[in-house]
Amino acid sequence: MSDSIVLNSATLDCPDAGRLADFYAEITGGKVTFRTDGWATIKGSGGRLNFQTAPGYRPPTWPDDASSMQIHLDFDVDDLDATDARVLATGARKFENQPNEHCLVFAHSAGHPFCLSTDDVPDQA
């Protein structure tokens, strides 16, 4: 028996698990592999995400030091312009405040922030 720990998945609370799973399956090319009234799972090339319906869910605000982000996901992309258009077409909302030129911050329908980033990060040395 090994003492290694391997990340299995992340679970996001939200108002509608199935709806949020559909959103992330659409933007990542993943597939919804499990769905009940209160839980949904997607699997894709980058792993697995779970979504849990949480009664009374309140979305985080960003950027706001007084608000907890709860979770945010980072996705690597090749073309920011193309992926920007694609996630907006699926219902995401782009925040007005953006951190830099190689990362775009959005929120999905449940309000969790997520980032699309390229490897075009300037050298800091």
Q: Identify the DSSP state of 88.
A: H
- H or E element at residue 44: strand 39-44
Amino acid at 77: V
The residues facing 93 across adjacent strands are 107
User: Does residue 2 surpass a pLDDT of 80?
Assistant: no
* Confidence band, pLDDT 50/70/90 cuts, at residue 102: confident
* pLDDT, tens only, 42-98: 999 888 899 999 888 888 877 777 777 667 777 888 888 889 998 999 999 999 988
Query: SS in 3 state form for 22-59?
Result: HHHHHHHCCEEEEECCCEEEEEECCEEEEEEECCCCCC
Q: Give me the chain's average pLDDT, please.
A: 84
User: Does residue 123 surpass a pLDDT of 70?
Assistant: no
Q: What are phi and psi of 42, to 5 degrees?
A: -120, 150
To 5 degrees, how large is the angle CA 77–CA 57–CA 17?
55
User: Does residue 35 surpass a pLDDT of 90?
Assistant: yes
| Residue whose C-alpha is closest to residue 107's, from 77, 63, 66, 65 | 63
